[in-house]
């Protein structure tokens, strides 16, 4: 999709590819180049308007999916951006860094494992040094690996999902808070799974519900220093998370077909919400959950 296409009113049902999609298994954490059809993260379709000029952002999971779309949008809105990712995702991260720098903005690359408390804290400090401060914190990286029944979820599985999705959020928020000045923004990524959990995503859905509660409580603390905190709750979005173990391949084939749109969302379609919540235009928004679910809604 082009910039012109995104600015012209269209039937949203037909704006992007619909299933069936090909089965396409790949090992976690997944690689953007291997997913078909190629997701639209805004590489050729997002146009900025200076809403984040001079801001400094840290985005976890910024190499692919929703995090990648947010990173591209932030750079095109005028922000310098640091992205965290796993070392196996280096090629995707390099592509995002190139797109950030093409906008004349600073890109800081932070490869590491978020299940390590020491790395989470070091990552924040490297961001502050590399960007000269921190104004926007997007906690987005997540682990999602389906299991058909509760007996298949090992303690190792459960522990890694909890550490990636919940513990890391706490460690990062705790390390970042002293650096956040009035006007700063924290944005976490939950899911429709927090409200309507799938039976095969028991541990993942549990963490996504926890993210909502944590962020709502955090927002009450942070407002005492003039910092806002909000949650984005996506529905089915077409990202590498899905074919790399997030869903069974038969569900990948029909991914998003259950929505009124009859298709999954593309990452660029949710990026403007992350921009709003980070920008001065969202100055009276805190402690909220923004659902972008393709019509499923959140309770």
Query: Within 108-151, where are the H helices?
Result: 117-131
Percent of the chain with pLDDT strictly greater than 90: 96
Exposure string (b/e) for 154-176, b if CB count within 10 Å is 16 or more? Answer: eeeeeebbbbbbbbbbebbbebb
Q: pLDDT confidence of 107, banded at 50, 70, 90? A: very high
**In the chain, what are the domains?**
50-289 (3.40.50.720)
pLDDT tens for residues 218-274?
A: 999 999 999 999 999 999 999 999 999 999 999 999 999 999 999 999 999 999 999
> Residue 56's pLDDT is what?
98
Reply yes or no on whether the pLDDT at 299 is more than 70.
no
> Residue 68's pLDDT is what?
98
Which helix (DSSP H) or strand (DSSP E) does residue 298 occupy? none
Find the mean pLDDT for residues 284-296.
96
Q: Is 274 a residue of the active site?
A: no
> Residue 8's pLDDT is what?
85
Q: pLDDT confidence of 89, banded at 50, 70, 90? A: very high
Average pLDDT, the chain: 96
* Catalytic residue (choose from 46, 85, 195, 204): 204
């Amino acid at each position: 999709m082009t910039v012109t296409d995104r600015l012209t009113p269209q039937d949203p049902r037909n704006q992007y590819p619909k299933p069936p999609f090909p089965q396409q298994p790949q090992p976690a954490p997944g690689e953007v180049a291997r997913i078909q059809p190629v997701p639209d993260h805004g590489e050729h379709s997002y146009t900025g308007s200076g809403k984040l000029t001079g801001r400094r952002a840290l985005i976890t999971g910024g190499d692919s999916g929703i995090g990648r779309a947010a990173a591209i949008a932030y750079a095109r809105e005028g922000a310098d951006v640091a992205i965290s990712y796993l070392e196996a995702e280096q090629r995707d991260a390099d592509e995002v860094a190139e797109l950030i720098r093409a906008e004349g903005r600073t890109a800081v690359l932070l490869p590491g494992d978020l299940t390590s408390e020491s790395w989470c804290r070091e990552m924040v400090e490297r961001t502050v040094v590399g960007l000269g401060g921190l104004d926007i914190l997007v906690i987005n990286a997540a682990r999602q690996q389906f299991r058909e029944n509760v007996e298949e979820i090992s303690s190792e599985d459960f522990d890694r999902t909890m550490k990636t999705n919940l513990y890391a959020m706490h460690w990062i928020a705790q390390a970042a808070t002293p650096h956040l000045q009035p006007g700063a923004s924290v944005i976490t990524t939950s899911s429709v799974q927090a409200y309507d959990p799938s039976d095969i995503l028991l541990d993942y859905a549990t963490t996504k519900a926890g993210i909502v509660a944590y962020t709502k409580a955090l927002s009450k603390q942070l407002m005492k220093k003039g910092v806002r905190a909000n949650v984005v709750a996506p529905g089915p979005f077409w990202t590498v998370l899905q074919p790399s173990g997030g869903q069974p391949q038969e569900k990948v084939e029909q991914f998003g077909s259950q929505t009124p749109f009859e298709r999954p969302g593309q990452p660029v379609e949710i990026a403007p919400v992350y921009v709003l919540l980070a920008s001065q235009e969202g100055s009276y928004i805190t402690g909220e959950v923004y659902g972008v679910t393709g019509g499923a809604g959140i309770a």
